[in-house]
Amino acid sequence: MNEMLPLMTYCLLMSVTPGPNNMLMVASGAHHGYRRSLPAMLGVNIGVALQTFVTCLGLGAVFVAWPALHAALKLAGTLYLLVLAWRLAVAPAANGRPPERVGFAQAALFQLVNPKSWVKAVTLASVFMPTGLSVPAGALLVSVVGAVVGFPCISMWALFGVGIARFLSNPARRRLFNAIMAASLVVLALLLLR
The one-character DSSP state at 177 is H
Q: What is the pLDDT of residue 178?
A: 78
Q: What is the pLDDT of residue 13?
A: 86
Band of pLDDT at residue 97, cut at 50, 70 and 90:
low
Q: Mean pLDDT score of the chain, rounded to an integer?
A: 84
Q: How many CB atoms lie within 10 A of CB 191?
A: 13
User: Mind listing the pLDDT tens digit for each residue in 154-187?
Assistant: 999 999 999 988 887 777 887 887 788 788 778 8
Number of domains in the chain: 1
* 3-state secondary structure string across 58-98: HHHHHHHHCHHHHHHHHHHHHHHHHHHHHHHHCCCCHHHCC
Domain that holds residue 46: 4-193
Higher per-residue confidence, 141 vs 115: 141
User: Mind listing the pLDDT tens digit for each residue in 9-46?
Assistant: 889 888 988 888 998 899 899 889 999 999 999 999 99
pTM over 0.85: no
